[in-house]
Amino acid sequence: MTVRSGLDAGFRPSLSRFFGREEELSQLRSLLASDRLVTVTGAGGVGKTRLALELVRGGLDTSPDGVWLVELALVESPDLVGPAIAQTVGGLEDRDLDHLERAAGVLSSGRQLLVLDNCEHLLEGVAAAARRLLTQCPELRLLATSREPLGVEGEQVWRTPPLDLPPAGAHEVANAAATSAVRLFCDRARHAMPTFDLTADNVGDVVTVCQDLDGLPLALELAAAWMAVLSPKQVSSRLADSLALLVRGGVDRLARHRTMRATLDWSHQLLTPVQRAAFARLSVFVGGFTIEAAEALFTGLALDTTPLELVASLVARSLVVADVAHEEARFRLLEPVRQYAADKLRSEPADEDDARSRHLHFLAHLSETAEPAIFGGPDLPWLHRIDEELPNIRSALSWGFGNGRDDAARLAASLVWYCYARELHEGIDWSLQVIRGGGERQGRAYLMAGMLSMNHGDYDAAEAYLGESRQFATRDGKRRELVHVLNYQAGVAVHRGDLEAARPFAEEALRLAREEGDERLQMRPLNRLGMVAFDEGNHAAARDHFLHALAISERHGATWPGLVHRCNLADVAVDMQDHGAARPALQGAFPIIAQIGATPAVTAGAIHDTGILAIQLGEPARGLRLLAAATAAMERAHYRDIAGDAERSQRWIRIAREQVSDDADAAWREGMQLSLDQAVAEAQAFLSDTPEPGPEASPPSVPAEGPTEPALSGSFVREGEFWSLGFAGRVVRLRDSKGLRDIARLLAYPGREVAAVELAANGQAEPRTPWQRTATQPGFGVEAGAGPLLDLEARQQYRQRLADLDEELADAEAANDPERETRGRREREFLLGELSAAVVSAGGIGPAWIRPSGPARR
């Protein structure tokens, strides 16, 4: 293969090493094998030219008769594209032929490749030349590099990604050095400082540099050039103003590549005035944006196109990166590009103020829209959406509080349930900013500060903040707010171990919640009463409260509260050593936690309970390792155990240490050194590998101070196509059948007559509603659902039973008998579901979810 350039007889040899890009090179080879025009696009400095040159140097089977490189960076006019190509390929001088016809005379001989480098400023001329040459030269292939496509029919556009980066917080030399971005930076750093090496002392700073520069090769090279006079730590610290730093370059570089700013100036000059204004405004998004968000920012512009088309034009020019892998496309500016755009925006103070104000207003509206769903469901989509917007929220609040904008208080106050679910303790600072600013949202801000302080273990502060919030809620008649305050006052008391104080708070919260008529308000007070009962040793009452709360959460799609309620149900099984229920529950915990994106403290809690289960099932060393790993993770998350939970944990640690004896300290040290991912893997391996406990199993006994209630006697749990029947420590699995479903139905209501038509209907339809189940005996969680086939007589019987239940509920409430009231409400909900032809399914205390007796009990 002959490789030629317009500058010399062959491609100039590279003076620096090329790193990574194996997958990208493979993709480009495949494209050139199948398509005649391939355009490599990407932001300035992402490495388009170098990638194309490495592709050619590596050899191309598709072009055995020659490869030509036309460097267009110094060509200033579209009219000069043809002459540049003709000069490069050496077409014969003929005054009767134009430049492209002369070039075609050379390129039409055999299979050749023409590489047109840096086309973005000459799109019209390059596109015209490409069309003519591909038409006149049937075997010619053309590879172009440009910040935007040529727009020629048959063109295949391939976007150049940045170099691969190490994950955030990666401080292991071997792992960091395996990524292309770090390898490139270190290689170029050695050019500036030959003695430089990647070590455990500087790897954190090097990783930060690579991440801050988004893996852009040009930016990394320019940053590494400063290693002659700066340390890695100094380079990292100065990247807050990276564009000011990246001003060095070799004297042999083209002028527009000498600085990062020059590469971006090149693109900026090619934009229309509206595109420039939009590009500058988009710099306020520090965590990416959606089209909806961009639309909010563009409202003040005199647009000559739609917001979508405007963003698309910036994507086409490689100034904006599009991620369309998810359901809703998301866009972002690479960080050096965003800083450049931010400089442009700052040069117009009025425009910057307008853009940031619109940014803040958009996020406040978005968060207020998300708040009811995150509180009561369906919460999962909104949790993930706010996760994506969190960098934007931080930036918007910082600006908004500093500029006295009311939208900042709106945004912060509406994040109360998000911050609680994500254990985001910076929410305390946001809430205090709202309090200092005064206004109508102070009560909500005090509530937020109290809830998060409780999670953080600062109980005195939590108590004070919640007291202030209660005064605001009482004064303003905000009964829903008062429910929340009372519930978390009960929570502080539970965390302190003061159950006598906790119960009246929780009971009053539940009473007010029921009066409000929104059952979603009842979830958390019911859960709190379950926690009180659990810590009092009343497992049956705790289970009833958790089941009721779970039923509500599932009806409304409240995934996060539902996880907490399920985990608390599993706590009952673990604490009572009901292995037939606890073990499958823990197996299902980790995928659900991963789906929600639970915090490290939540994940550590599941590991914690698995450790206790390991000790109970005769593997004390493994249990110690898991408990140690959970302890380390909780400490890193600054989580403080509830008083009762800490006591239970210490009991099992003592039991395991006595059994392991001399190896106990070693097992504990091993666990403390496990990463969270490693601990999750070990916990899941234990749950998968451990055989079902048989009658010969003899788990350690709980010391005298443990629960006095007898252990759960059995379980009857549906797990997909199978049922697990547990009794006396033995578990048998049977394939699902109508007979087993009928048994489940009968067990749900012992002593109660069940119409035959009800059983006949049970197998007629697949489940449709999220939740209906009951547990009337210790250890039995059963599936319930009569199906759509209820005859007239059965419906009349159901309605009569509903009327009777209404009277019983009134009596129970008057007698202040919450347990009887809970059972009555659950039966009432079941009957209403049957009358609406709902067919439902559920497991028992077990197979799908768990949260240990630690962080989940909130």
Could you give the CA distance from residue 671 to residue 679 in angstroms, rounded to a whole number?
8
Could you give the CA distance from residue 312 to residue 436 in angstroms, rounded to a whole number?
42
Q: 57 pLDDT exceeds 60?
A: yes
Write the single-letter amino acid at 135. Answer: T
Residue-level pLDDT at 35? 94
Could you give the CA distance from residue 139 to residue 117 in angstroms, rounded to a whole number?
20
Residue-level pLDDT at 788? 36
Q: 638 pLDDT exceeds 80?
A: no
Of the given ranges (21-35, 83-97, 307-321, 648-662), which has the lowest mean pLDDT?
Answer: 83-97
Tell me the average pLDDT across 127-151. Answer: 95
Residue-level pLDDT at 728? 44
Of the given ranges (215-219, 315-319, 413-417, 732-736), which has the lowest mean pLDDT?
Answer: 732-736
User: Which of 416, 413, 375, 411 has its CA nearest to residue 392?
Assistant: 411
Residue-level pLDDT at 573? 81
**pLDDT band at residue 703 using 50, 70 and 90 as cut-offs:** very low
Could you give the CA distance from residue 325 to residue 303 in angstroms, rounded to a whole number?
28
Q: 439 pLDDT exceeds 80?
A: yes
Write the single-letter amino acid at 462. Answer: A
User: Which of 451, 506, 452, 455 has its CA nearest to residue 483?
Assistant: 506
Residue-level pLDDT at 789? 40
Q: What distance, in Å, lies between the first and last C-alpha atoms of the chain?
A: 70
Tokens of 382: 């909104």
Could you give the CA distance from residue 226 to residue 230 in angstroms, rounded to a whole number?
6
> How many Cα atoms sit within 13 Å of 744 on the Cβ side?
30
Tell me the average pLDDT across 755-766. Answer: 47
Residue-level pLDDT at 12? 57
What is the radius of gyration, based on Cα positions, of the chain?
33
Could you give the CA distance from residue 720 to residue 734 in angstroms, rounded to a whole number?
11
- Kind and range of the H or E run holding 459: helix 459-476
> Rounded to the nearest 5 degrees, what angle is found at the Cα of 50, between the Cα atoms of 46 and 55?
120
Tell me the average pLDDT across 826-838. Answer: 56
- Kind and range of the H or E run holding 735: strand 730-735
Could you give the CA distance from residue 415 to residue 429 in angstroms, rounded to a whole number?
12
Q: 712 pLDDT exceeds 90?
A: no
- Kind and range of the H or E run holding 332: strand 330-332
Share of the chain above pLDDT 70, in %: 78
Of the given ranges (64-68, 611-615, 811-815), which has the lowest mean pLDDT?
Answer: 811-815
Residues 220/188, Cβ–Cβ less than 8 Å? yes
Computed over every residue of the chain, the mean pLDDT equals 81
Residue-level pLDDT at 794? 56
Write the single-letter amino acid at 753. Answer: E
Residue-level pLDDT at 747? 60
Chain CA centroid to CA 354, Å:
30
Instruction: Tally Cβ neighbours within 10 Å of residue 753.
Output: 7
SS3 719: strand
Q: Specify the higher pLDDT residue, 671 or 603.
A: 671
Could you give the CA distance from residue 746 to residue 586 in angstroms, rounded to a whole number?
27
Q: 832 pLDDT exceeds 70?
A: no
pLDDT tens-digit series, residues 833-852 = 555 433 233 333 332 222 33
Write the single-letter amino acid at 625. Answer: R
Tell me the average pLDDT across 643-663. Answer: 85
Could you give the CA distance from residue 309 to residue 291 in angstroms, rounded to a whole number?
10
Instruction: Answer yes or no: pTM beyond 0.85.
Output: no
Tokens of 295: 């639309």
Could you give the CA distance from residue 725 to residue 714 in angstroms, rounded to a whole number?
7
Could you give the CA distance from residue 756 to residue 380 in angstroms, rounded to a whole number?
40
Q: What is the 3-state secondary structure (H, E, C) of 262-283?
A: HHHHHHHCCCCHHHHHHHHHHH
Q: 639 pLDDT exceeds 90?
A: no
Cis bond upstream, residue 378 (ω within 30): yes
Of the given ranges (408-412, 413-417, 716-720), which has the lowest mean pLDDT?
Answer: 716-720
Write the single-letter amino acid at 103. Answer: A
Tell me the average pLDDT across 254-277. Answer: 78
Q: 248 pLDDT exceeds 90?
A: no
Tell me the average pLDDT across 711-725. Answer: 50
Q: Specify the higher pLDDT residue, 649 or 331.
A: 331
Share of the chain above pLDDT 90, in %: 46
Residues 823/544, Cβ–Cβ less than 8 Å? yes
Write the single-letter amino acid at 804. Answer: D
Q: 95 pLDDT exceeds 90?
A: no
Q: 755 pLDDT exceeds 70?
A: no
Residue-level pLDDT at 578? 82
Q: Specify the higher pLDDT residue, 435 or 45.
A: 435
Q: Specify the higher pLDDT residue, 93 or 807.
A: 807
> How many Cα atoms sit within 13 Å of 727 on the Cβ side?
4
Q: 774 pLDDT exceeds 90?
A: no
Tell me the average pLDDT across 287-291. Answer: 93
Residue-level pLDDT at 735? 61
Q: Specify the higher pLDDT residue, 10 or 599.
A: 599
Q: 97 pLDDT exceeds 70?
A: yes
> How many Cα atoms sit within 13 Å of 702 on the Cβ side?
17
- Kind and range of the H or E run holding 732: strand 730-735
Could you give the CA distance from residue 389 to residue 374 in angstroms, rounded to a whole number?
15
Could you give the CA distance from residue 97 to residue 93 in angstroms, rounded to a whole number?
8
> Rounded to the nearest 5 degrees, what angle is found at the Cα of 522, between the Cα atoms of 519 and 523?
105
Could you give the CA distance from residue 607 to residue 629 in angstroms, rounded to a whole number?
8
Could you give the CA distance from residue 492 to residue 627 in angstroms, rounded to a whole number?
25
**pLDDT band at residue 830 using 50, 70 and 90 as cut-offs:** low
pLDDT tens-digit series, residues 466-512 = 999 999 999 999 999 999 999 999 999 999 999 999 999 999 999 99
